[in-house]
Amino acid sequence: MTHHLTFNRRRFLQSAAAGVLAGAAPGRALAAGGLTVGFIYVGPKDDYGYNQAHAEGAAVVKKIPGVTVVEEENVPETVDVEKTMESMINLDGATLLFPTSFGYFSHVLTEAPKFPNVQFRHCGGLWKAGKDPANVGSYFGYIFQGQYLNGVAAGYATKSKKIGFVAAKPIPQVLQNINAFLLGARSVDPAITCQVIFTGEWSLAVKEAEATNALVDQGADVITCHVDSPKVVIQTAAGRGAFVCGYHANQSALAPDKYLTGAEWAWGNVYTDFVKKALAGQPLGNFVRGGLKDGFVKMSPLGPAVLAEARKKFDATLTEMMKPNYVVFKGPLKDNKGAEVIAAGKAYPEDAIELESMGYLVEGVIGSTA
C-alpha cells in the first residue's frame, strides 16, 4: 500500500521524459518527490453543482504542501476518461487519481490493473473486496441526511403544504434523497406532500426548467432537486417566488432571499484525509463512506427566510444527527402505493445495505419511479 509513494527509477524516468516533452510548459514543475493528484470531472468545474463540489475539494487539497493538483473537466464516460487517466499518469506523473463521476467506475476498473503503482479512488462506486483491484477504492457520502434537513427547513417555509423535487433518474441514490426530503418535512407537519418530477437526464437544463415551472404551477412553494447542476432549478424556482433548498454545493448566491439551506458535499475533508494518508504512506482504504457526523456532508448556512422557530428545530435536528445512531429511514414506513417497505420497529441506519437498492417513493411523495 505504500509503494505508490516511492519514487522509483521507472517513475522517475517517466516523469523526467514527460517533463522534457512538456518543454516550455510554464508554472508547473512536476513535484519531484511530492505527490501529484489528478481530479477528473464529468461536467464544468463551475456548475454550481456536483462537479463544483468536487473542484472545491480539489482546491482544498491544492493548499497542502508538497502536493500538485491536476484537473480536467468535461471528460465523457467513454474511452476519453481512460485516456485522461493515462495522460495524467504518463505526462503529469500523477500517482493518486480521483475520477469523480459515477459512470467512470467501469473505466477505472479497466485502467487500474495497468498501473499497479497508482492509487485510484472513485466517487460513488461499490468497490468489492476480492473482485476489484486492490489499488482501487470508492468513497461516497450519505447526503440524504442533508436532504432530510432540507426537508425540515422546507416544512416550516411551506404555506401550501406542497413541496417539490426535480430529480434526474429514479435510481437508489436519488430516491433516498426524495424520500428523506419528504420525511424531513413531515417531521414538521405530517400533512405535507412532495411532488417529484424526473427529467430522465443528469444535465438537461430545458427539462429542469419545465419541471420546476410545472411544480410551482401545481402549488409547490419550496423546491429542491437532484440533478448535476441545480443552477437552473434554483433560479427558475426563486424567479417564480418559491423558496429553494440547495444540493451538491452552495447555491445561495443564485437566490439570496429565497435560499433556505442546502445539502452540500464536504469533499475538502475527504480529499484532505486521502492525500494526508498518501503522503504519510498509510493505506487509503478501499471502501470509504460517511455522513454529516463524519464530515462528508455539510449544510449551507441558513438563509434569511428561515424564521426563528424553524432555526431552532433545524439546529436541534442537526445536533441529533451529529450523534451516532440517528436514523432517517425507520419503520413503520409505507411506500406511496400503500405497501409496507420498512416494518414497525425496524430501522435502517445510513450504512444499511437495504438503502443501497431503494426502489420506492415513500407515502406522501406524489410521483412514480417508472
Partner 1 sequence: MTVRADERLERSAAAARGGSGAVVELLARRAEPVAIGLIAIGIGLALFSLFLLAVGKSPATFFSLMYVGGFGSWFSLQNSLSRAAPLLLTALCVALPARLGLVVIGGEGALALGGVAAAAAAAPLVNIAAPLPTLFLMAAAAVTVGGLWIGAIGYLRHYRGGNETIASLLAAYIAIALMNQLVEGVLRDPASLNKPSTAPLPPAYWIGKIPGTDVHWGLAIGLIACAVSYVLVEMTTWGFAARIAGGNARAAEVQGLPVGKLIVGFTTLAGGFAGLAGMIEVAAVQGNANASLAAGYGYTGILVSFLARHNPLAIAPIAILLGGIEASGGLIQRRMGLPDATVLVLQGVLFVVILFCETLYGRFRIFNPELWKRDA
Q: Which residues bind partner 1 (CB under 8 A)?
A: 17, 21-26, 28, 44, 70-80, 82-84, 86-88, 90-92, 102-103, 105-106, 124, 126, 169-173, 200-201, 356-357, 370
Comparing CB distances to partner 1, the nearer of 37 and 305 is 37
For the CB of residue 173, give the shortest distance to partner 1 in the complex, in Å.
5
Burial of 275 (0-12, 13-18, 19+ CB in 10 A): buried
Distances (CA, A) of 354 to 10, 70, 302: 45, 37, 32
Comparing CB distances to partner 1, the nearer of 84 and 119 is 84
Comparing CB distances to partner 1, the nearer of 68 and 300 is 68
Residue 152 to residue 88: CA distance in whole angstroms: 43
Comparing CB distances to partner 1, the nearer of 74 and 319 is 74
Comparing CB distances to partner 1, the nearer of 102 and 314 is 102
For the CB of residue 35, give the shortest distance to partner 1 in the complex, in Å.
15
Distances (CA, A) of 114 to 19, 72, 86, 95, 121: 22, 21, 9, 13, 15
Q: Is there a contact between 40 and 97 (Cβ–Cβ < 8 Å)? A: yes
**Structure-block grid coordinates of residue 18:** 514527460
For the CB of residue 105, give the shortest distance to partner 1 in the complex, in Å.
8
Comparing CB distances to partner 1, the nearer of 25 and 316 is 25
For residue 343, which amino acid is it?
A
**Structure-block grid coordinates of residue 143:** 447526503
For the CB of residue 126, give the shortest distance to partner 1 in the complex, in Å.
8
For the CB of residue 67, give the shortest distance to partner 1 in the complex, in Å.
15
For the CB of residue 1, give the shortest distance to partner 1 in the complex, in Å.
26
Residue 41 to residue 52: CA distance in whole angstroms: 9
**All residues at 6 or more sequence positions from 307 whose CB lies less than 8 Å from its CB, including other chains:** 156
